[in-house]
Amino acid sequence: MRPASDKTAGTRATREELERLARGQQALRRDLAAAAITSAQAREELIPAQGEPVQRPAAGAGVPQGIELRHLRYFVALADAGSFTKAAERIFITQPTLSQQIRRLEEIMGTPLLQRRREGLKLTAAGRVLLDASRNVLSLVDHEVSRTRQAAGLGRQRLRMVMPPGLPESLAVAATAGLRAAAAEVDVVWLETALDAEFSLIGTRRADAGLGWLTAGPEALPAPLEVMVLEEFEPQVWIPSTHAAAHHGTISLDELAGLEVIHGPRRAQAGTYDAWTRVLQTVDPRFEFTDPPFRRSLPMTLVCAATAGRPAAVLTGPSTVAGSRAWPIRRSRPADTCGMVRVSLQHHPLTASAALVWSGDLPRPLQQMLFETADSLTAPAPRRPAEVVS
């Protein structure tokens, strides 16, 4: 026979085992109940009723609940791709899944976000609002995740740098080289896109820094943007060789406003476009620019100006250091410019300041790197004498 102490120990062990078993059964029941609820929710989210109209929330229902970041990422991908097939390929999900999730997003929002047409998808007014908000939210989340990881010492710092198309090559090349040299320990993401006069891409944290044009003082930009002005630039002006101003190489603002001036389009550089329009309207209140037929080809635009029905001039974006005559002056052959010649604008009334702008919320090391890069770009460079070719 076992001692009494052994019996007591055995009874205690049996009781503890029973209690553990009971707790395990309770946990299992809870897990099964949760799984049942989750499955029902998943079925409701992933397999919405076909042909059922979008349910609108009741009046006063408040902010839609259940929206997730993945819904916003899918919606942005769809808007950018223009079709469900292309968007699904880009984000590595199936087309039916993408369609179901966009449908779910519309149900959450309570309104259609896009229209399916023969020529492709078109966002509704609500869809356009949500697209802009989604870009801002996703960019802010990515930015804050990056900041959090950097604060924890995880991974390399990242800088999203905007370099708009159409910048003077001398400025763009120098800025790119300076940043690449200074950013040895930083991952730089280059974004080639236009910047508006308010640098809103940076202000809304969809980018960290950018090189662009100031048409007002740096104080006009909202906080927390930091600005460092680099240099003043002005456009190239091309006029017909038969124009009176072509003989002495300069043209007045009054004379320029009297011509059809091909410049733009506005979406390419809205800040300088609007500012220069206002300057020319001080001479002629009805003045408006004419859009170029070939935005990225100056020679082809010159051909169109030379063959226009009325005298026309061509105005480029900011491209030459203001007041400088350092560009090579050449006798243009007819095949080069079709009889259009380059002149300077008297008193330099059309200018824009090249500026490096960044968010004041960036980590100090990144801000210091940007400041030093901008400082190196403001250092005067030796000018080469103008080359004259007869």
Question: Are 262 and 117 part of one and the same domain?
Answer: no
Please report whether residue 62 resides in a domain.
no
Question: Are 273 and 365 part of one and the same domain?
Answer: no
Q: What is the 3-state secondary structure (H, E, C) of 211-252?
A: EEEECCCHHHCCCCEEEEEEEEEEEEEEEECCCHHHHCCEEC
| CATH number of the domain enclosing 102 | 1.10.10.10
Span 247-257, pLDDT tens digits:
889 999 999 99
Mean pLDDT over the full length of the chain: 78
- Quote the pLDDT of residue 254: 95
Question: Are 218 and 357 part of one and the same domain?
Answer: yes
Average pLDDT over every residue of 202-231: 88
Question: Are 265 and 200 part of one and the same domain?
Answer: no
Question: Are 162 and 102 part of one and the same domain?
Answer: no
Helix axes 95-109, 4-46, angle to 10 degrees: 90
Span 143-160, pLDDT tens digits:
777 777 767 766 678 889
Question: Are 85 and 137 part of one and the same domain?
Answer: yes
Write the CB contacts of 339 (distance below 8 Å, at least 6 apart in sequence): 240, 241, 242, 306
Q: Among 108, 141, 174, identify where a domain stops.
A: 141
- Quote the pLDDT of residue 7: 45
| CATH number of the domain enclosing 223 | 3.40.190.10
Question: Are 118 and 160 part of one and the same domain?
Answer: no
- Quote the pLDDT of residue 204: 84
Please report whether residue 55 resides in a domain.
no
Please report whether residue 44 resides in a domain.
no
Question: Are 236 and 344 part of one and the same domain?
Answer: yes
Range of the domain at 291: 232-351
* pLDDT reading at 214 higher than 70: yes
The number of distinct structural domains making up the chain is 3
Span 30-69, pLDDT tens digits:
544 444 433 333 333 333 333 344 545 444 445 556 788 8
